[in-house]
Amino acid sequence: MLRRTPSLFKPFPILETDRLILRRLQQTDLRDVFEYASNENISRQVLWDAHQSLRESQRFLDYTFERYRRGEMAPFAIEHKTDRKMIGTIDFAWWERGNGTVEIGFALSEKYWGLGLIPEAARAMHQFAFEKMGVIRIEARCFAENSQSIRVLEKMGMTYEGTLRQRLLVKGERRNVHMYSILHQEWKQQEQIY
């Protein structure tokens, strides 16, 4: 008889920081998802196209809800505690269990840029990955010309490892990608400072 390993994502975890709650997406988040996902300033720097309608945002929610139902890794909604508004998502794009590595990604409503919210959310995600998922390395990638994301990744305590030249074909254009990472022992040292 096969024994199923309990999922870290069922029930889906809730993580909390000083200003944020990281939780499951909900149907009531539909308009908030569309608000940031339809913004060309955001979609220009990610792999997905800007949402053109609420229906596209609903498809993203439906896909995510199915992942929650199956106990799979899925996006966390970023809820601003003061505003009580879902302002973006943060997630692990993939997890190589055998290598102890995950990749983190995020999208944030432009209205909340420059407030240090993604580094704050990432600290909670780093803790979850290192302590609960047992990873030893967290990776992040961004397009080489995305100076805002580069600053955010550095504030997250991640180290630049190099440029993957013409790594991705995105929206018909070959893009150079910067690779960043943080290791478990580096995170532990940083946490002692906080």
Placement of tokens 């505003």 in the chain: 83
For residue 154, what are its two tokens? 């550095």
Residue 194, pLDDT score: 58
- Give residue 175's Cα distance to chain centre: 20
Residue 81, pLDDT score: 97
Q: Are 140 and 104 in contact (CB under 8 A)?
A: yes
Residue 45, pLDDT score: 83
* pLDDT values of the chain reduced to their tens digit, one per residue, 194 residues: 444 456 899 999 999 999 999 999 999 999 999 999 999 988 888 888 899 999 999 999 999 999 999 999 999 999 999 999 999 999 999 999 999 999 999 999 999 999 999 999 999 999 999 999 999 999 999 999 999 999 999 999 999 999 999 998 888 889 999 999 999 999 999 877 65
Sequence-separated (6 or more) residues with CB below 8 Å from residue 125? 15, 22, 76, 90, 92, 104
Cis peptide before 11 (omega within 30 of 0): yes
Q: Are 182 and 126 in contact (CB under 8 A)?
A: yes
Residue 193, pLDDT score: 64
Q: Which residues of 55-83 are buried (b: 16+ CB within 10 A; e: fewer)?
A: ebbeebbeebeebbeeeebbbbbbbbeee
For 117, other C-beta atoms within 10 Å of its C-beta total 22
Placement of tokens 């794009």 in the chain: 93
Residue 1, pLDDT score: 46
**d(C-alpha 171, C-alpha 24), whole Å:** 29
DSSP classification of residue 72: -
Could you report the per-residue pLDDT of 103-142, keeping only the tens digit for each?
999 999 999 999 999 999 999 999 999 999 999 999 999 9
Residue 26, pLDDT score: 98
For residue 163, what are its two tokens? 């440029």
For residue 98, what are its two tokens? 């055998």
